Amino acid sequence: MHKTVAQAVEFARELSGGFTARADRDVAIAPPFTALHALSSILKNSAIALCAQNVHWEEQGAFTGEVSAPMLLDTGCRFVLVGHSERRALFGESNDEVNRKARAALRAGLSPVLCVGETLDEREADQTLSVLRRQLKEGLNNISADDIRRSIVAYEPVWAIGTGKTATPEQAEEVHDFIRQFLERIYRKELAAEIRVIYGGSVNPDNAGSLMAQKDIDGVLVGGASLDAGSFRKIIDY
């Protein structure tokens, strides 16, 4: 929950100015709902895509305050976050709700970014893999092979978000490898290799390169370091 429309517009102009598409990476930004329409016009001819921060599982109806997938598509979004740790922790989103949101996004033609991750208490209790197994199993329920191709999985250890703590590249890779193996069990191995699994948790210009050097880390979900265009560009150009 950062930036007014004017601030978001200024950010998008600074980020997209002189930005050149690169074949080996995709870039998207996820501003608040209020700024999506304005940024859609600014980024229309750029290589930077729009991502929404949340979505409702119904297309329309008596859900005051919610935003549907077709509405997001209408503003120019290509991606949408589902199950972000803050949505789970602060707003009580369940794995079933996350799954319904992901399927709604896919029906509308959006690519969901399915976020999974453990809390500090869960990690210290050696429950990381069991928590992730449950989140993935329930979050991917009834998502077909064709749909998973359009989806992204984001591992965000809750204990490393906004805390300044970061999983070491080796810790992150260990979990990403587990996620990849889990995807292989649900889908076939060749398809699992195609699914993008990205890391989020205090990503910054100093650690982006070492994280991206890991075999199973396909990208990063950037938090606070993305609020400054210069900082974000450094991460993009790691």
Read off the pLDDT band of 87 (50, 70, 90).
very high
Domains of the chain: total: 1
Q: Report yes or no: 12 and 29 within 8 Å, Cβ to Cβ.
A: yes
- Condensed to tens digits (0 to 9), the pLDDT of residues 27-53 reads 999 999 999 999 999 999 899 999 999
Q: What is the pLDDT of residue 167?
A: 83
**Cβ neighbours of 238 (radius 10 Å):** 16
Burial of 1 (0-12, 13-18, 19+ CB in 10 A): exposed
| Residues taking part in catalysis | 84, 156
- Average pLDDT for the chain: 95
Residues of the chain with pLDDT > 70, as a percent, come to 99
Q: What is the pLDDT of residue 49?
A: 97
CATH number at residue 211: 3.20.20.70
Task: Please report the DSSP string for 117-138 in residue order.
Answer: ---HHHHHTT-HHHHHHHHHHH
Angle between helices 5-16 and 33-42 (to 10 degrees): 40
Q: Cα separation of 175 and 79, whole Å? A: 23
Q: Report yes or no: 106 and 151 within 8 Å, Cβ to Cβ.
A: yes
Q: Report yes or no: 151 and 120 within 8 Å, Cβ to Cβ.
A: no
Q: Cα separation of 15 and 25, whole Å? A: 15
Average pLDDT of the segment spanning 55-59: 98
* pLDDT for residue 170 is more than 90: yes
| Host domain of residue 124 | 5-236
- Condensed to tens digits (0 to 9), the pLDDT of residues 96-106 reads 999 999 999 99
Average pLDDT of the segment spanning 119-141: 95
Q: What is the pLDDT of residue 159?
A: 85
